Amino acid sequence: MSDSTGPWMVVGLGNPGPEYAGNRHNIGFMVADLLAERMGGKFKRAHKAQAQVVEGRIGPPGPASARVVLAKPMSYMNLSGGPVTALKEFYKVPTDRIIAVHDELDIDFPTLRLKLGGGDNGHNGLKSITKSLGADYLRVRAGIGRPPGRMDVAAFVLKDFSSAERKELEWFVDRAADAVEALVTGGLERAQSSYNG
């Protein structure tokens, strides 16, 4: 296991720009924004990486809280690995303390699954990160389900959540942020038992 004093890095995956803000593919950004709000921080441009970051702490006040770097790569989804690698090196974050928060087609909306490692399941953001870092990082997988009928997957993930989904979206983003906090403060097994749907 990694050095227990090193920081954590939580990477919300998405595409930059207002036209993508409500897309299913951007749920990672939504979770990162909520975590930044909870930490009382505002995203700022990272010095050495094409990303926005917030530095803060997660967990109870005092020595038990964990140092966390929240990151939103600004490179577009399929190039996420570059900014994540640059931030990992700059902040000296061990790979097993990196948490990627992303949309997941093979899990129904609104279900979460937490895991360490594994494949990318065709997700271009994960594919790019894995190519740069290897697969041994944590994932908070936010289920968005499969596209209806014959709709193209790429079109589906770049569409906004439906009006029915939006009724549950705030709760879902909140729950995903809780799951990230649980991962950081209590470890994978405990977080899985609480949040895996």
> Within a 10 A sphere around the Cβ of 61, how many other Cβ atoms?
7
| Rg of the chain over all Cα atoms, to the nearest angstrom | 15
Q: How far apart are CA 127 and CA 120, in angstroms?
A: 5
The one catalytic residue among 25, 47, 102, 123: 25
Residue where the block lists tokens 């995956």: 13
Whether 123 is a known active-site residue: answer no
Q: What six digits make up the tokens of 163?
A: 């009006």
d(CA 51, CA 73): 4
Please list the active-site residues: 25
